[in-house]
Amino acid sequence: MNRRFIPTDEQAAAIGTPDHPTLRAGAGSGKTEVLARRFVALIAGDIEGIAPISPERMAAIVFGELAAVDLRARIVKVFDERIADAPPGPPCAALRAARRMLPLARISTIHAFCARILRENPLAAGLDPGFTVLDEFASGTFLEHEARRVLIDAVRDPDSSPGARLMVAARGMDGGEYRAGAVGVALEIAGRLARLNHPPQWLVEKAREFAAREPEMRAELAGRADATMQLAETLLNAQVGGAAGERIAQSRLIWPAARAALQLISDDDADGREWETLSDFVAALPDARNHTIKTQVIALKQLLPAKDKLNGSLAEAWGALRAIEPTRQIAATIAQAARRLDDVRRRDRVVTFDDLLILTRRMLEARPDVANRYRSALDALLVDEYQDTDPLQHEIIELLARPAPAAPALFVVGDEKQSIFGFRNADVTVFKRA
């Protein structure tokens, strides 16, 4: 026998508040049940100060297909309980009518919610009205196939930017178990550009801005190399005894080669082998326990790389300078891949899983008339599992809930400790900010 849900005082307050709260509720606290009962309470007119809302003017967003099925089932169950308990008369008839209209309510995942908006406004979204939506798996296969073709063509074309050859040489086409290959890197960056609403050319422009800092970066590298030489010579001239003195004597033997390596690095003539000499010099240095040389030792170890590691602020400055041209070349290749992916999507009239969100956000921002129409068409928007919302999804919900002049009442539920969709760009700080 099913037990009736009896809300706690806090749950009852959340269900019946006339405000627009964000609820933090832990696992097993009944937050989805609360959301379902608030959904019904809004339709039934149980909340003081809020007139009854027709189901077609309600929307509830969840973050999984099964969750959407579960939420709809819970709402139906609440309706059935309310109808069974209601005495014959107009209130019971109103509940029965609302129950019949429940299929008109928008209870779905954020992707299905956005797909419906795009289907209703294809021209405003810049889409062919007959577009096909690819699910998450098909989207990945489609994009990977096209990105691979772009990179293969670029590698084979001697006149193309060498960026593709650099990427494949560094990562392989498909990468390995623990890191993405050239295809994965291209898709990841192209996807981030789209999610941030940047055109492919933006990446090229940022790489150009980075390259424009070359004189500043050369000066920074020379300054760090000069500071390293001064610190090293101060340390090597220090008069200390014991184990520290012995290590300094050993370091003096290595210093001429290390100094020559520093000069090459400062002049940007290094080919990378100089770092082995410098790491040998660091390995020979004494530790920082002797107070006479402590400051110099700590500073040198922050500047110079440890054995078998290309780290330290001197190496970072050198690496940044050496990265200028590869950055420009790889940016050009990824921008080319992103444009090609856009062209192919338009040609094949397909919308990928991520496109559902990207295109909806873009349309709502660019077309205030469309955004206002949806704000006016919805009286309430409830969102479950908000800890699994990413910044793009948050922007869509914010655009729909923005008063301009009308907006749906927003009800958000989540628990940052239960965030599970990091692999889908979910950002738990979005919920914390909410």
Spatial contact of 324 and 210, defined as CB atoms under 8 Å apart: yes
Give the mean model confidence (pLDDT) for residues 106-130.
95
To the nearest whole percent, how much of the chain has pLDDT over 90? 50
- Per-residue model confidence (pLDDT) at position 255: 92
- What is the band of 426 on the pLDDT scale with cuts at 50, 70, 90? low
**pLDDT (0 to 100) of residue 345:** 94
Q: Is the pLDDT of residue 420 over 60?
A: no
Contact 15, 7 (CB under 8 A): yes
Query: Does residue 114 have a pLDDT over 70?
Result: yes
Report whether pLDDT(375) > 70.
yes
Looking at residue 177, its pLDDT comes to 81
What was the pLDDT predicted at 48? 84
The owner of tokens 């444009």 is 339
**Range scoring the smallest mean pLDDT among 52-56, 116-120, 283-287, 328-332:** 283-287
The Cα–Cα gap between 191 and 185 comes to 10
The pLDDT, as a whole number, for residue 1 is: 47
What is the reported pLDDT for 385? 83
Q: Helices then strands (H, E): number in the chain?
A: 19, 7
Q: What is the pLDDT of residue 302?
A: 87
| Model confidence pLDDT, tens digit, residues 299-357 | 888 888 776 666 778 888 888 898 999 999 999 999 999 999 999 999 999 999 999 99
H-helix or E-strand spanning residue 350:
strand 350-351
Is the pLDDT at 424 greater than 60? The verdict is no
**In sequence order, what DSSP letters do the residues of 14-52 get, joined into one string?**
HHH-SS--EEE--TTS-HHHHHHHHHHHHHHT-STT---
Q: How confident is the model at residue 241 (pLDDT cuts 50, 70, 90)?
A: confident
How high is the pLDDT of residue 425?
Answer: 52
Residue 378, pLDDT above cutoff 50: yes
Please say if the pLDDT value at position 49 is more than 80.
Answer: yes
Q: What share of the chain is helix, strand, coil (3-state, %, to 5)?
A: 65, 5, 30
Q: What is the mean pLDDT of the chain?
A: 87
How far apart are alpha carbons 424 and 226 in whole angstroms? 46
| pLDDT of res. 416 | 67
pLDDT bracket for residue 32 (50, 70, 90): confident
The CB-based long-range contact list for 32-36 (8 Å cut-off, 24+ gap) reads: 32/67, 32/70, 32/71, 32/74, 32/384, 32/413, 33/5, 33/74, 34/7, 34/413, 35/60, 35/71, 35/382, 35/384, 35/411, 35/413, 36/71, 36/74, 36/75, 36/77, 36/78
pLDDT exceeds cutoff 50 at 423: no
176 pLDDT more than 90 = no
Q: Say yes or no to pLDDT of 422 above 60.
A: no
pLDDT of 42: 92
Pick the range with the lowest mean pLDDT from 141-150, 212-221, 243-252.
243-252
Between 275 and 78, name the one with better pLDDT: 78
